[in-house]
Structures are given as structure tokens and as C-alpha cells.
Amino acid sequence: MLGSPVVERTATRQSRLDLRRGIRREFAAALVERAAHLPEPDRLLIEGVFRDGRSIAQIAEVWIKNPDPAYTPKSLRRRLHRLVERLRSPAFALVAQHRDRWNPPMARVATACVLQGRSLREAAELLGMSLHTVRRHLDAVTAIAEAFYGGHRLDPRGVGG
């Protein structure tokens, strides 16, 4: 049906990365390189899977000593997918490369929200800023990334997208 909201929503959905299929070494290397900007547990998860070739089950066995439910295989798999999507985003690449050139408040917001994956509320509380200010800075970062990269994401079939 033309103009159907269901058709429009499905047409605008971005394809998800299927980590069960083989990915190129260049893509894995690019993910590991970008993971250097992540907090330590997230960086270790990306490195374990994409650099060391470990399975989620193997990583969960190492982390199972921690009784936190965030370290079950199911939750680690979900976390890995979210991390890969964040690492593939044009905003992540832009912030990682150019944040030292921005004004300090915008760089802090970009680091907290884009690199560390914090929510707007968490970033506002952590940085001592209003939610409106954090949102405004994050919108500016997103606009810069869209203008700079044209919405291209890191592509698993090759490094550029």
C-alpha cells in the first residue's frame, strides 16, 4: 500500500550487521583500532572477539566469576552488537579523530555520549550540565558527522562505506 506507515518504517530501517557471517580482516582491524577509544570492559570485549578470535562463550567463561548479569553470554552478545554499531557510526570516527579541536564542553559531551556510550541523562549528570545543553552539543556533533562523512558507516565488506 502506497504511503503505508509500515512500509515506510521498514524501508528506512538500516540493515543490522550479522556477526555470525565471516567478516573481512580489514573490518575487524578497523573495529579493534576504533575500540582503543572505548572504556576498558568494552575495549576488551571487542579485542577478544575481533582481534583474538574468541567466541562470546569463551569470553563469558572468563568474566563469569563476576556475578553481574551483564556478563552472561546473551547479554555480552547484545552488548557486542551495540558496540559494533557504535564503532561503525560516522559520529564515532569523527569524535575519535577531531574532539581535541572542539571547544571543551562539546568535546566532553561527545566523549561521554559517543565514545563511552552514555545516555543524555547520564552524561548531563556526570558532566554537571543541563540535559538541554548536552542534547544541543550532541546534535551539533551529529550534524558535523553527517556533513563530514555523509552518513557512511564502516562497512564489513570493506573498510570504507
**What CATH class is the domain 90-161?**
mainly alpha
89-122: per-residue pLDDT in tens?
888 988 999 999 999 999 999 999 999 999 999 9
Residues 6+ apart with CB under 8 A from 135: 120
Domains of the chain, by residue range, sit at 22-88, 90-161
pTM for this prediction: 0.72
Is residue 11 scored above 50 in pLDDT?
no
Three-class SS of residue 108? helix
115-158: per-residue pLDDT in tens?
999 999 999 999 999 999 999 999 999 888 888 877 666 655 44
Cell 550534524 maps to which residue?
143
Task: Tell me which of 65 and 155 has the higher pLDDT.
Answer: 65
Q: Which three cell numbers stand for residue 72?
A: 552472561
Concatenating the DSSP letter of every residue in 25-51 gives HHHHHHHHHHGGGS-HHHHHHHIIIII
